[in-house]
Amino acid sequence: MATQHLDLEEQEQLDQLKHFWNQWGNLITWLLIVVLGAYAAWNGWQYWERRQAGLAAVLYDELERSAQAGELTRLERALADMKDKYGGTAYAAHGALLAAKVLYEKDKPAEAKSALAWVADKAPSDGLKAIARLRLASVQTGEKAYDEALKTLSASFPTQYMALAADRRGDVLLLQGKRSEAATEFGKAYQGLGSDSGDYRRLVGIKLNALGIDPEAGAKAGATS
């Protein structure tokens, strides 16, 4: 009797399990497919990113060697390959920044500006975009393309780069003879740099002094503008 009772309990459990699986089996199966598929896709994406980064690193080494040797043809070819094949990687952005520096030093400002503009538009991080914009604005200022430089510096900058952008705007405005507007930007830079910025903040303070403005007063003016 005990064995028969046990068999009946087991049969009831099996019947309940069958009923549950008939009701929910398809849903559970599809959920498992989705979860396992997402996991596989994530692993595949991680592998692809690591592979892309590794291949981009090889090209970056080639670009760096070309830069050190001053071989512009090789450098520009390596940069073009990086932008075309691995444009979404940080290696490509860093490579373009390095290439822009070398190109500018080799009296190829148009190519340098093109590389910097690409980083400002395509870099995978806001920090790299900000660095590219600051350098591009410097090149434009050197060419006396002041309106272009101000347009470049009017873009949005991450918080840690805002003071640097304000300082550059002040430089450009001063070159345009706009002393009052320049003082306002220098004031923003002075305040934004903070007391721990050392020599850079003192340099901005000197600019304000040259305009006949006390640095602390300039900082307050920039904060309220």
CB 189 within 8 A of CB 167: yes
Closest to 136 (Cα-Cα) out of 145, 124, 125, 127:
145
Q: How confident is the model at residue 46 (pLDDT cuts 50, 70, 90)?
A: low
The mean pLDDT of the chain is 82
Instruction: Give the Cα separation of 146 and 4 in Å (integer).
Output: 96
Confidence bin at 217 (pLDDT 50/70/90): low
DSSP of 36-66, one letter per residue? HHHHHHHHHHHHHHHHHHHHHHHHHHHHHHH
Does the structure show a pLDDT above 50 at 219? no
The single-letter code of the amino acid at 202 is: R
75: helix, coil or strand? helix
pTM higher than 0.85, yes or no?
no
Where residue 212 falls (left for φ over 0; alpha for ψ -120 to 50; beta otherwise) is left
pLDDT of residue 169: 96
String of b and e for 111-149 (b: at least 16 CB within 10 Å)?
Answer: bbbbbbbbbbebbeeeebbbbbbbbbbbbbbeeebbebb
pLDDT above 70: residue 191: yes
Name which of 7-16, 63-72, 147-156, 178-187 the model is least confident about.
7-16
What is the rounded distance in angstroms from the CA atom of residue 79 to the CA atom of residue 24?
A: 55
pLDDT at 39: 53
- What pLDDT, in 10s, does the model give residues 149-169? 999 999 999 999 999 999 999
Q: What is d(CA 132, CA 155) in angstroms, rounded to the nearest whole number? A: 12
**144 or 221, which is more confident:** 144
pLDDT band at 21; cut points 50, 70, 90: low
